[in-house]
Amino acid sequence: MPAAAPRALITRPEPEASQWVQALAARGIAAAALPLMAIAPASDPQALAAVQRRLADYTAVMLVSGNAARHFFESNQALALMQQAQAAIKTRVWSPGPGTASVLRALGVPAERIDQPAAEARQFDSESLWERVGPGVSAGDRVLVVRGSEPGASTTGSGRDWLSAQIRAAGGEVDFVVAYTRAAPQFTHDQLALARSTAATGGPLWVLSSAQALGHLCAALPDQRWDGARALATHPRIAEAARAAGFGAVFECRPALADVATSIESHA
């Protein structure tokens, strides 16, 4: 029996894209992986290792994504890093949402050390995270933000400016370290053909989880019209980027897998 036609294209980086396809299949939703972002190790592993050795110096460490968590903890025992010194008992681990928190737990970070937005938060992002952790930040606290960067960019990375400003306004200090590199993927001929076909005929929903990743798609197909395509965006800023790119229909939902699955069922 031939495979069912996909109802959605999952554009997250690997391994998340394939994991989401499998999870959606378990719910009876046929999907296909078409990653729009490639992830590689940090260009300066020595800087990353130096910060890992000083983890106990921080009141909290914020992992901006599952990829940040994997590249910060993967080559080390997470529990060993968290307990490398008695002082590390105070170190909390901040997650922007349940997906990253799940990765952290799988890597060995104790669940009781993880802070994340409330389950009922409208969005899983820095703003929702700050609602949970902000009241506990005080003068003298040091927070490490572990994030990604682009090839050739600063070794401290970019992004999370709003969260950094809130920490500093509360009297805290912020350090940054790059744990991984984001880049455009090398699209195959079949992937580009699928993208063109979806743009022209509607077809499956594009599940978009990054405005930067959407930019990679548009750069790979600069002359493509997207008015026949439909997108499911997991944040309002991503939805804005999809509309600006010309997608004919753009829907929004929270980024949790359960919410995405429900939205696919509603719109596909």
pLDDT per residue as tens digits for the range 158-217 = 458 899 999 999 999 999 999 999 999 999 999 999 999 888 777 899 999 999 999 999
Query: Which pLDDT belongs to residue 85?
Result: 43
For tokens 């991984």, what's the residue?
A: 180
DSSP string, 46-88: HHHHHHHHTGGG-SEEEE-SHHHHHHHHTTS-HHHHHTSSGGG
What 3-state DSSP class applies to 16?
A: helix
Give the predicted TM-score (pTM) of the model. Answer: 0.83
Cα-flanking dihedrals φ and ψ of residue 203, to 5°?
A: 55, -150
Query: Which pLDDT belongs to residue 73?
Result: 85
Domains of the chain plus CATH, in order, are 8-37+185-267 (3.40.50.10090), 40-183 (3.40.50.10090)
Cα–Cα separations (whole angstroms), residue 171 to 26, 56, 156: 47, 19, 21
Quick one: average pLDDT of 21-27?
Answer: 96
Evaluate if residue 79 carries a pLDDT over 70: no
Return the percentage of the chain with pLDDT > 90, whole number.
Answer: 70
